[in-house]
Amino acid sequence: MPVFYGTEVASRLMLGTAQYPSPAVLADAFRRSGAGIATVSVRRESGGERAGGDFRALVQELGVRVLPNTAGCHSVREAVTTAQMARELFGTDWIKLEVIGHADTLQPDPFGLLEAAHILTSEGFRVFPYTTEDVVLADRLLDAGCEVLMPWGAPIGTGLGLTNLYGLRTLRAQFPGVPMVVDAGLGLPSQAAQALEMGYDAVLLNTAVARAGDPAAMAEGFARAVEAGRLAFEADPMEPRDMAAPSTPVIGTAFLS
């Protein structure tokens, strides 16, 4: 199982908690997924509203580790303040750090992300940075004190899957000992399996489950996919090749003239 900041997590599947049709559906999806971590947007769930308190209680009842995030933050100041609020609300120094730089693609702002990561790690936060697959940025985030990287598969909510396989493979190969989670853009269990087959430690998704016709069934599908993908990675799969090779040997077989 993956280990983040010295803590072993029970599953390689991490789920978001937004957009579900009802609290009951959310709870059922988590139950069938076996997810070990639930991400929660602090900006969506205001601590001063009754609904926010009810939601926090629901998340606590799921019995999983909570990873608050700074979703919706477009500046360093917003992200840092939101992280500080999250620590008070949820009693954890874990934070998924998002600093959005582009309104249409929701691509991270690399400069703001790095600055916020420096500030938060200096304050004792365990930062999970939502980043691109950029190797240079990843190296700077590690230097800033991040011990986990969360590169996107595709823009948030698109369901496009792994749109830059070369970049993701390069990032994984460049930092083989760093825990990495493919975060955002996954739409199908097969895409999650592909990420695990490449050696990623876990995947994080929300929309693909929450907006499915049957969220609980889709959650279970993703759970099985990450298990299959990890087994394939650990089995040391064959390398692809251009030429065909017979699976049945022909040496010693009879040929009729």
Confidence of residue 50 (pLDDT cuts 50, 70, 90): very low
What pLDDT shows up at residue 48? Answer: 46
What pLDDT shows up at residue 219? Answer: 97
The number of angstroms, rounded, from the C-alpha of 67 to the middle of its chain's C-alpha atoms is 11
| Predicted confidence (pLDDT) per residue in 136-188, tens digit | 999 999 999 999 999 999 999 999 999 999 999 999 999 999 999 999 999 99
Number of domains making up the chain: 1
Structural domain contains residue 8: yes
Task: Determine how many CB atoms are found less than 10 A away from the CB of residue 193.
Answer: 22
DSSP string, the chain: --EETTEE-S-SEEEE-SS-S-HHHHHHHHHHHT-SEEEEETTTS-TTSHHHHHHHHHHHHTTSEEEEE-TT--SHHHHHHHHHHHHHHH--SEEEE--B--TTT--B-HHHHHHHHHHHHHTT-EEEEEE-S-HHHHHHHHHTT---BEE-SSSTT-----S-HHHHHHHHHHSTTS-BEEES---SHHHHHHHHHTT-SEEEESHHHHTSSSHHHHHHHHHHHHHHHHHHHHT-PPPP-SS---SS--TT-----
164 is an annotated ligand-binding site residue: no
- Residue 140 tokens read as 């700077």
213 is an annotated ligand-binding site residue: no
Structural domain contains residue 253: no
- pTM flag (> 0.85): yes
Structural domain contains residue 246: no
Structural domain contains residue 257: no
Structural domain contains residue 240: no
Structural domain contains residue 13: yes
Max alpha carbon distance in the chain (Å)?
A: 87
Query: What does DSSP say about strands 37-41 and 65-69: parallel, antiparallel, or unpaired?
Result: parallel
What pLDDT shows up at residue 251? Answer: 66
Domain hosting 167: range is: 3-235
184 is an annotated ligand-binding site residue: yes
| Predicted confidence (pLDDT) per residue in 92-114, tens digit | 999 999 999 998 899 999 999 99
What CATH number does residue 152 fall under? Answer: 3.20.20.70
253 is an annotated ligand-binding site residue: no
Backbone angles phi, psi at 210, to 5 degrees: -65, -35
Structural domain contains residue 67: yes
